[in-house]
Amino acid sequence: MEYILSFDIAKGKSVYCFIDETKNIIIEPTSINHNKKEFDVLFDNIKSYRPLTVVMESTSVYHLPVENYFRSKGIETIVMNPKLVKQYKDTLNKSKTDKIDCFKIARCYLGTIDTLYQKNDEYFMFNPLARQYWSLVEGQTRLKNRYRQLIEIVFPEFNLIFDDMYSDLALNFIHDFPHPALFVNRRTDYLMNYLKVKNGTTQAFRFKNKVLKMKDIASNSLCYVGFNSLQVQNLVQVIEMIQYHKQEINKLKEQLINNLKDTNQFKIINSIPGFGEFSTALFLAEVGDITRFDERKQFISFIGIDSITSQSGTSEYHGPISKTGCKFARTILFNIVTTIIQISAHTDKENPIYLFFRKKQSEGKHHYKCIIACETKLCKIIYKLCTSDCLYKNK
C-alpha cells in the first residue's frame, strides 16, 4: 500500500492532505506554515507510513523549501507540471479551494504515476547553474541598454573610437576616462601606454592613430555634461556591474563544462557540428537525460517545438508550435541552428541541417518555419545518437 502526502503550495504556507493509493483519507486537508517546527510535527505523524511519496505542483520557487525538506528526510518527492495538474482540475464544478486542490494534485499523481520523471539524473543536477546563467544574461542585457543610454548622454563619440563598446578594452578605458575632459589634455604617449597595458600587448605604437583620433574627436565634441556629473558617476557604476556580470557568467560557463564534459551524452552531443562545449553543457543541464524519453516525439514535445494539431472527423489542422516545454532549450536550439546555417552556407554545404533548411526554403516556407523544422530534425539526430550511444559522423 502506497501513501501519498499531497501539498497545494502557496507563498509561506500550504494545504496538505494524506491519503493512500485507494484514495482513502488518512489526514483531512490541513493548513501548514512553512517553518521547521510545524513540518517536524507533520513528519513525526506520517513517518511510520511506508512507502511514502510526497507530491506537489511546481509553484515558482515557493515549493522548493517543502521539496528540499522531504528530500533531506529521504522521502521520494515528486514535483509535477502545473499544466498536467490543471487537466485534472478542470471539471464541470468550477469551485476552487486549496483543500480541493490538494486532493486533485494527489489524484493527478495517481493517474499519471507511470509517466512521471524526477529531475535527479546526473544532468539535471546542474540545472540551477543553467538557470543562474540565464538570469545573469538577462541582467547583463538590461545593464548594456543602460550603458548605451549613458554613453549617448556623456560622450556619444565613444562609438567612433571603439568598434566594440562591450570589449574589455572599451569598458576599461571608459571606466577610467568616462568624460572627454579627463583624457583630451593627456599626453599621447601616456594614453598609448595605457591602451597597451589594458589590451595586454607589448607594442604601444599600435594605438597611436586611435589616441590621436580620440583626442581630436574629444576636442570637438558637443558635450556639456560635467565630468563630475551624476550621469558620469552612473556610467562608471554600470560599467563595474557589467564587468562583474561578465566574470560571473564566465565562471558559470567553466563550471558547467567541467562538471559535464566527462559524461557520455556530453561527448555524443558535442560531436554534432554546431554544438560547442558550453552549448552542449547548457543544453544537457536543461533537458536532462535524453534516453529517458520512450520516443523522439516525447523529447521534441518536452522542448516545446511540436506542432499543435486539431483533428475532428476528416478535417485536420496543424498550427504553430506548442511552446509548452523548456523555453531555454528552444533558445539554445534556435541559436545553434542559425549558426549551422550561416557557417555551412560558406564552409559545409553538405551539412544535413543546411540541406534540410534549403529544402524547406524551396517549398516556399517562411524563414522561421524553416528554422523550426531544422530544430526538429536536429532533435531527431540528437535522440538517435544518444539512444544508440554513438558519436556523430559526417557522411
Q: Count the Cβ atoms, other than its own, within 10 Å of residue 119.
A: 11
Identify the DSSP state of 33: E
Q: Which residue has the higher pLDDT, 113 or 70?
A: 70
Query: What does the pLDDT look like over 259-274, one tens digit per residue?
Result: 999 999 999 999 999 9
What's the rounded Cα separation, in Å, for the pair 19 and 392? 49
pLDDT at 181 over 90: no
| Cell digits of residue 200 | 595586454
- Per-residue burial over 132-167, b = 16 or more CB atoms within 10 Å of its CB, e = otherwise: bbeebeeebeebeebbeebbeebbebbeebbeeeee
- Across the range 141-163, mean pLDDT stands at 91
Please tell me the distance from the alpha carbon of residue 22 to that of residue 253, in angstroms, as a whole number.
47
- What are the tens digits of pLDDT across the range 216-231? 888 887 777 888 899 9
pTM over 0.75, yes/no: yes
The confidence score (pLDDT) of residue 210 equals 86
**Residues 6+ positions from 237 with CB-CB distance below 8 Å:** none
Give me the chain's average pLDDT, please.
88
Q: What is d(CA 373, CA 366) in angstroms, rounded to the nearest whole number?
A: 11
Residue corresponding to grid cell 589594458: 198
pLDDT in tens, 188-207: 999 999 888 888 887 888 88
First to last CA, the chain: 54
Distance CA(148)–CA(167), nearest Å, equals 13
Distance (Å, whole) CA 34 – CA 64: 11
> pLDDT (tens digit, 9 = 90+) per residue, 28-40?
999 999 999 999 9
